[in-house]
A and B are shown apart, each in its own frame.
Chain A
Amino acid sequence: AQSVAQPEDQVNVAEGNPLTVKCTYSVSGNPYLFWYVQYPNRGLQFLLKYITGDNLVKGSYGFEAEFNKSQTSFHLKKPSALVSDSALYFCAVTYSSASKIIFGSGTRLSIRP
Chain B
Amino acid sequence: DAGVIQSPRHEVTEMGQEVTLRCKPISGHDYLFWYRQTMMRGLELLIYFNNNVPIDDSGMPEDRFSAKMPNASFSTLKIQPSEPRDSAVYFCASSPNRGLGETQYFGPGTRLLVL
Contact = CB atoms under 8 A, between A and B. Distances in A.
B6 to A, nearest CB: 8
A43 B103 contact: no
Nearest to A45: B106
B45 A101 contact: yes
B42 interface: yes
B4 interface: yes
Contact of B45 (A32, A34, A100): A100
Interface residues on A, range: 20 to 34
Contacts of B115: none
Interface residues of B, number: 19
Interface in A31-53: 32, 34, 36, 41-46, 49, 51
Contacts of A103: 42-43, 45
B108 A105 contact: no
Contacts of B100: 32, 94, 98-101
B25 interface: no
A36 B43 CA distance: 12
Contacts of B14: none
B4 A106 contact: no
B103 A49 contact: yes
Interface in B31-66: 42-43, 45, 48, 55-56, 59
A90 interface: yes
B70 interface: no
Contacts of A41: 108-109
A42 B108 contact: yes
B104 A99 contact: no
B101 A46 contact: no
A101 B59 CA distance: 12
The 8 closest A-B pairs by CB, nearest first: A43-B106, A44-B106, A103-B43, A46-B103, A94-B100, A105-B42, A32-B101, A43-B108
